[in-house]
Structure formats: structure tokens, C-alpha cells
Amino acid sequence: MAQSTAPDTTTPVHPLIESSRVEGTPVYDSTSKHIGTIQHLIIEKVSGRVVYAIMTFGGFLGIGAQAHTIPWEKLHYDTSLGGYRTDITEAQLSGAPGGDEKLWRDRKREQEVHDYWKIPPYYGF
């Protein structure tokens, strides 16, 4: 009786993730090359919005080990990849403010991040 076209019995692509499990989420470039990994997300406590991803870029030689503070708007979840896609290039990254995963605690340095990536900040509106 049951139809055999039940798509929900395979491993579901669930739209949600636990905050405790975001570490290790892969990040891909515009050509679907794996270029980095999310360490953790930075969440605005009042609104419950993610505002930054702290991530390492392992694929770009020489700057792989540094943690970078990337505005959330630079990442776009791709369900087919199971990770985030970004248009960030190696050239952009090499000039980016960062290298300190606690940068987001300093408003002046946060502003440098927003200026560099041309993303309006979450504060001030």
C-alpha cells in the first residue's frame, strides 16, 4: 500500500544545527573548493542573530592557521554542499583585519572588520 517514493527516510538535510555542533562546518569558495572551517559562531545575545563566524582558512597557503572574524553576511548555506559558500578570495583575506579570535570584543576592531568587508554592523541602528 505504501508508496515507495518516500524521500524523508533518507538522512534529512535539516535546516537547524545545535550551537554545540557548529565547530567543523566546512566553508567552500565560489568553485565549491573546500577552503576553510568554522570554529564557532558569534551570536548577538538580545536578538539571537549570528553576526560573525570565527573561521580558519586552511586552503590558502601561509595564512591557514589564523582565525578570522568573518561577518555572517559573507557566508551562504548551501544545502547541496552541507556547508557554507563564500565569495571571499585569498587576496581579500590576506589584507583583512584579524588574526585574533577575540577581535569581536573590541568595538573599534569590529568596525575595521565591517569597513573592510563592506558589511553594515549589527550595532548602531
All three cell numbers of 70, joined, read 568573518
User: How near is the Cβ of 37 to its own copies at its closest, in Å?
Assistant: 14
φ, ψ at 90 (rounded to 5°):
-60, -40
- Candidate list 24, 30, 32, 49; residue touching its own copies; CB under 8 A: 49
The reply to whether 45 sits near its own copies by the rule CB under 8 A is yes
CA 61/CA 111 separation, integer angstroms: 27
Check if the beta carbon of residue 71 is closer than 8 Å to that of residue 119.
yes
φ, ψ at 19 (rounded to 5°):
-60, -30
Letters for 64-93 (x = contact with its own copies by CB under 8 A, - = none) are --------x---xx----------------
Residue 56, SS3 per DSSP: strand
Residue 70, SS3 per DSSP: strand
Interface region with its own copies, contact rule CB under 8 A, candidates 28-36, 40-48, 85-93, 112-120 = 40-48
By CB under 8 A, the residues from 12 to 31 that bind its own copies are 12, 14-20, 22-23
Interaction site with its own copies (CB under 8 A):
12, 14-20, 22-23, 40-46, 48-52, 54, 72, 76-77, 104-105, 123
